[in-house]
Amino acid sequence: MNPYDVLIAPFTEFEFMRRALAGVFALALGAGPLGAFLMLRRMSLTGDAMAHAILPGAAIGFLFAGLNLYAMTAGGLAAGLLVAVGAGVVARATGMKEDASLAAFYLISLALGVLIVSLKGSNVDLLHVLFGTVLGIDDATLILIASITTLTLVTLAFIWRPLVLECVDPTFLASVSRAGGVSHIAFLSLVVMNLVGGFHALGTLLSVGLMMLPAATARFFVRDLTALVTLSTVIAFAAGTIGLLVSYHLGTPSGPSIILVAGLAYAAAVVFGPIGGLVTRLVPGRHLEA
């Protein structure tokens, strides 16, 4: 089998593969920058919690309208924002830390969402909600994902400076500007929206993977923020493309294939990454040579 048949033919011959590729590209454009900021702000687990938090809202939308794009999207957005705000309120009104509060909220949300889907739907519906159907993306879903990505990039352009400052020196930002709180809320809203968009392609359990794994991988290769965001986006798109090809040729589920490819890239970066990788740490540098 020649390289064309392996790498190009699946996308030229089948429309559903081209749709899936376009969807993965749109998801990567939004997930790359957000994943980088989540990691730099030490909010990686927050992204995971928010991915689970959208499930009950999407499940309620499914309960009333079945696998309806707009009902599940509206429900997922409402549930994600509710959990984000609720966890913050509990953390500030009680002695509980915000990470513990988020963990409690997302565990309850996950269990509630699975229960709601199970009550009305079949095992196939449950698998669709949990793991997505990236190969089944239609025009409406593609437009929704592209719209979320466009809004994400435009919003990031406006809040870029306060986001960067909050990563570097939040105390200084608070002393000179009130933009920190607004940018934080806007950033969390963007995370929720992108997780909802990813939910339709990769499901609730995997959508955060395309956001966090490429960012964590890129951190082993670059230090500069712009390079980190760019490389995260490139890795996310590459993992999506290779995952689709693996799914096509081996007959494996597309969503898990994409995330596993991203996971393999992360594992390779942990071992061979030039910035903090295991090999780099074990092999003495030139400045130690006689």
**Cα atoms in the Cβ-side hemisphere of radius 13 Å centred on 109:** 31
Q: State how far the Cα of 79 lies from the Cα of 93, in Å rounded to an integer.
A: 21
Long-range contacts of the stretch 114-120 (C-beta < 8 A, 24+): 114/55, 114/59, 116/56, 116/59, 116/60, 116/62, 116/63, 117/59, 117/62, 117/63, 119/63, 120/62, 120/63
Q: How confident is the model at residue 23 (pLDDT cuts 50, 70, 90)?
A: very high
User: Residue 108, SS3?
Assistant: helix
Q: Average pLDDT for residues 8-36, to the nearest whole number?
A: 92
Q: Looking at per-residue confidence, does 217 or 183 come out higher?
A: 217
pLDDT tens digits for range 199-243: 888 877 678 888 999 999 999 999 888 999 999 999 999 999 999
For residue 290, pLDDT over 60 is answered with no
Question: Which domains can be identified in the chain, with CATH numbers?
Answer: 3-288 (1.10.3470.10)
Lowest-confidence pick of 6-20, 103-117, 163-177, 258-272: 163-177
Mean pLDDT rounded to a whole number for the chain = 83
Closest CA to 52 of 192, 236, 253: 192
pLDDT at residue 65, as a whole number: 80
Q: How confident is the model at residue 98 (pLDDT cuts 50, 70, 90)?
A: low
Most confident of the ranges 122-136, 142-156, 166-180, 276-290: 142-156
pLDDT at residue 179, as a whole number: 66
Q: How confident is the model at residue 168 (pLDDT cuts 50, 70, 90)?
A: confident
Closest CA to 25 of 137, 153, 146, 194: 146
pLDDT at residue 285, as a whole number: 60
For residue 89, pLDDT over 90 is answered with no
Most confident of the ranges 46-60, 63-77, 163-177, 261-275: 261-275
pLDDT at residue 286, as a whole number: 58
